[in-house]
Amino acid sequence: MTVNGVSGTGTGLNEQSRIPQKSLGKDDFLRLLVAQLQNQDPMNPMEDKEFVLQMAQFSSLEQMGNLNNHLTAFLANQSAREGELALSRALELIGLEVEAELPETGETLSGTVTGVKMLSGLAYLVVAGQDVPYSAVQRVYMAAEEDAPQQGGEPVDQ
């Protein structure tokens, strides 16, 4: 009897599935379940309870993944809305006088708001040519009339 050599080094698995990963996904879970069903002992097959339990675990895993995706989208949307709200409030201050503490230096800056900018999702007021974070505003005043003897005007409720 003659034995022919075996050629090829394939294992039957594609090479991509051999790359180590930190976590298993739902596709991996299904592959494991199918492999378990294909390779079970015909004399001692998997019980219905075990199969139902594994399917319930798979369903829970899938629902947790969906919940995580929805929560991530919700948080991104919430963050965008907070930026829009801050921009809207900052726009209302154009033409008013503000007093703000500059976060970089701790100095107090006063002046009329001449513009608004959005930088990295945060609202900034343009006061005396400087960008002032909306969150740094401590006081808001009505702009003083040019003929008025007082300076600063009356405080405005926000």
Q: Are residues 66 and 100 in the same domain?
A: no
Could you list the residue range(s) of the whole structural domain that residue 51 is in? Answer: 24-81
Asked if 108 and 100 count as a contact pair (C-beta separation under 8 A), the reply is yes
Give the number of domains in the chain: 2
Kindly state whether residue 65 falls inside one of the protein's structural domains. Answer: yes
Instruction: Say which amino acid occupies 120.
Output: S
CATH number, domain containing residue 102:
2.30.30
Asked if 114 and 91 count as a contact pair (C-beta separation under 8 A), the reply is no
Kindly state whether residue 131 falls inside one of the protein's structural domains. Answer: yes
Q: Are residues 100 and 69 in the same domain?
A: no
Work out the average pLDDT over 45-68.
Answer: 81
pLDDT band at 111 (very low <50, low <70, confident <90, very high): very high
Contacts of 80 (CB under 8 A, 6+ apart): 121
Kindly state whether residue 52 falls inside one of the protein's structural domains. Answer: yes
Least confident residue range of 14-28, 32-46, 106-120: 14-28
Nearest to 98 by CA among 143, 152, 151, 140: 140
Beta bridge partners, 118, equal: 123
Asked if 101 and 136 count as a contact pair (C-beta separation under 8 A), the reply is yes
